[in-house]
Structure 1
Amino acid sequence: MNFLPIPRLHPDHPAAFPPAAQALEEPNGLLAWGGDLSPERLGAAYRQGIFPWFSEGQPPLWWCPDPRAVFDTRGIRLPGRFRRQLRKSPWTVRADTCFDAVVDACARAPRPGQDGTWILPAMQEAYGRLHRLGHAHSIEVFDGDTLVGGLYGVASGEMFSAESMFSGQSGGSKVALAALGHWLSGWGWPLIDAQVGNPHLMSLGAHEMPRASYLARLADLAGRPGRPGNWSALPPLAAASLAGVSGG
């Protein structure tokens, strides 16, 4: 299988990626192909602003789009009507108590305009390994004992790269995102990488950053100590406490 003009990754050098500036303009950000989904390669990719995204039957494809969609951790916006509903919500938010269930729910979530999912079994297994090593994390929204929303992603130092989110009940993913912003901003982490923007993310406060600017910020943030390990010791957060998040 040939993916010229992009390079193929060397199987024995998991940290070696081409410079992001070599990524294609069309499709936006396609940088390299091949390699594997080992923790070493995934960790190196995220520290360099690169992520995998590919479909069934394809080898791993690696991306670094320009511009980059990001959230300021203090800049997440919830719609006013939703915030009013949230004040009476019994939901609670936890972290890292059911990572595999969140990833599975994200894989099964219907996506408008998409047939199937890119969160293939190999991807689920790969992020599960990263989670057990303390580098991938899930934010989970519960109604009693029922999982009603969540997201998962990868932490590189003090940068969090959000991979996917889902809502089992309306608004579940919004609450997970707001809770993530709450925790990260409390730790002094400034950004959430959302990779590629869309109207829904922009309505929640995401904005676009030139790739060069994003990579410069990442180089600083990824070099910081961060919070490796399991986050399940975080005290559960009442979803109603997030009702004060600005509606912009």
Structure 2
Amino acid sequence: MHTNPSSPLLQLQNLQISYGGIQAVKGIDLDLWAGELVCLIGANGAGKTTTLNAIAGVLPIAGGSILYQGDKVNAVPAHKRLRRGVALVPEGRGIFTRLTVEENLRMGAYTRKDKAGIEADLERVYTMLPRVKERLHQVAGTLSGGEQQMVAIGRALLSRPRLLLLDEPSMGLAPLVVEKIFEVVQSVARDGVTILLVEQNANLALEFAQRGYVMESGKITLTGSGGDLLANPKVREAYLGEVA
């Protein structure tokens, strides 16, 4: 495993993904450097979720390469990518609704053997997510949407990710809850976890992200710093509901 700081943590090269006979992602390039918070924005059906699932190893790719820590991981199965530090918080949260909150969190650490480290990470998650700590023994399916999203993020953190893939963390949540979720995302980023965020709320995502990529119909059409994309009239019109 060669970790070369002069190369990106994650690199997508001409990535192509097809399913059901349709080419969903049509040869995209994307770089993500260690310590960055980068967002991927675009309309529904642009291929954003498909891209995250391919990076996590949940979907096979049709062409191109996924490089992680300088190694090509095209054929590496999802559970091995998780062991190497790639964690996905899927769209719709994907928590275990019949397990308690604590059981959900511990499931995040299933690849780990370091008991003391796991307990220390649980404590860090409790500090970061006090609402989750209050609900430890509650069945996860009885939580509100925002609390479930926090459990899903906490569970991913228990795998000690280097790269956290977040798919639509604000979807269907009230504005105040969304604010809280983004505070959590920021504090995870400050802890040095690299984050690739797919987010419908382009305004919020670009405010938080250092850089962004705009995806349309399976292609990346624009890239730039969060501030540049926020100021771009095309982006404002298409994603921020402004008329140019």
TM-score by length of 2: 0.32
Q: Which has the higher helix share?
A: 2
TM-score by length of 1: 0.31
